[in-house]
Structure 1
Amino acid sequence: MERVVRVIISLSFVFYLLALVVLLFLGTRGFIFTDLSLIEYIKRSSNFVPFKTISTYIKAIFDGSMNMDIPIKNLVGNLFMFLPMGIYIPYFIKGIYKVSVFSLSMTILFFVIEVIQLVSRRGSFDIDDFILNMLGALIGFGIWKSTFIQKLLKQKSKHQFQS
């Protein structure tokens, strides 16, 4: 039974990673400003000011200045897109059990993703995406570290040793 659960979790992780690749690099955003040099593209499509995009979207939700789908999809989507990573990473990589190690790992991952999106012109570098992705991953990590999940894991390992 242990092996079946591990295979199911592994397969779900593979599908999750494929979905991330599609969302982050192959989605419908398309290439923007393709006639610009990379430096000009970076200048036009980057946001290095924390909470600039987040506050714009929150304001738009309250004053109706934007189609509601845009801020909701961006805020909620970026928040929950990496929540599963907070569960999968400590499940598969046993050395990542401290929040500091997990946070450093996610920081590196998110930085690489943002740079790849920028250089490939499949998106932009937005510090607010980074913040929301990290918050989502930390929520997932909190779920993983929760007493309920940890008790389930201990029960599972007790049954494994008793069999």
Structure 2
Amino acid sequence: MKKVIKVVFSISFIFYLFVLMIILFLGTRGYIWSDLSLLEYIKRSSNFVPFKTITTYFKAILNGSMNIDIPIKNLVGNFILFLPMGIYLPLYIRKINKVSVFSISMILLLFIIEVMQVFTRKGSFDIDDFILNMLGALIGFGIWKTKVVQKLLK
């Protein structure tokens, strides 16, 4: 049974990485400012102010000024997107079994992804996405550390 569980986890991890790459870099989302210089593109499309986008979306939900699908997809989607990474990383990289090492690894990974999105112009650098992705990953790591999951894999 243990071998079956590991095979299922391995297949699901490959599928997760595939979907993650599509969402982050190959999707149809893109920005209309393709004719701008990289510096101008960064200025117009990036958010370096923590909780700016999150606050805007919560206000929009409360006052109904925006179609509710947009803030829900953005907030929940960014939160859930990296939740599985909190389970997969410590499973496949044993050294990432402490919250401090996991957090540093995720910070580096998420920073690289955000920067790559800017350079490929398939997204923008948004500190709020970073925060939500990190929170999701930490929740996933918390799930990984539960006795139920640990017992399942031993």
Give the TM bin, normalised by the shorter chain: over 0.9
Equivalents in 2 of 1:3, 1:42: separation in Å?
A: 47
- Are 2:50 and 1:63 aligned? no
- Are 2:77 and 1:77 aligned? yes
Letter in structure 1 aligned against 2:139: I
Alignment check: 8 A CA contact 1:117 1:124 kept: yes
Match of 1:91 in 2: 91
Identity of aligned residues (%): 70
Q: CA RMSD in A?
A: 1.0
Which structure has the bigger radius of gyration? Answer: 1
TM-score, normalization by structure 1: 0.91
Equivalents in 1 of 2:123, 2:86: separation in Å?
A: 23
Match of 1:26 in 2: 26
- 1:5 is displaced (CA, Å) by 1.9
- 1:70 is displaced (CA, Å) by 0.3
Number of paired residues?
Answer: 154
Deviations 1:20-60 (A, max 9, x none): 00100111212430110000001101100000000000000
Alignment check: 8 A CA contact 1:32 1:122 kept: no
Equivalents in 1 of 2:78, 2:121: separation in Å?
A: 19
- 1:6 is displaced (CA, Å) by 1.4
Deviations 1:59-96 (A, max 9, x none): 00000010110000000000000000000111111111
The answer for unaligned runs of 5 or more in structure 1 is 158-163
Alignment check: 8 A CA contact 1:31 1:123 kept: yes
Which segment drifts farther, 14-23 or 27-36? 27-36
Match of 2:141 in 1: 141
TM-score, normalization by structure 2: 0.96
The answer for unaligned runs of 5 or more in structure 2 is none
1:47 match: secondary structure:
coil
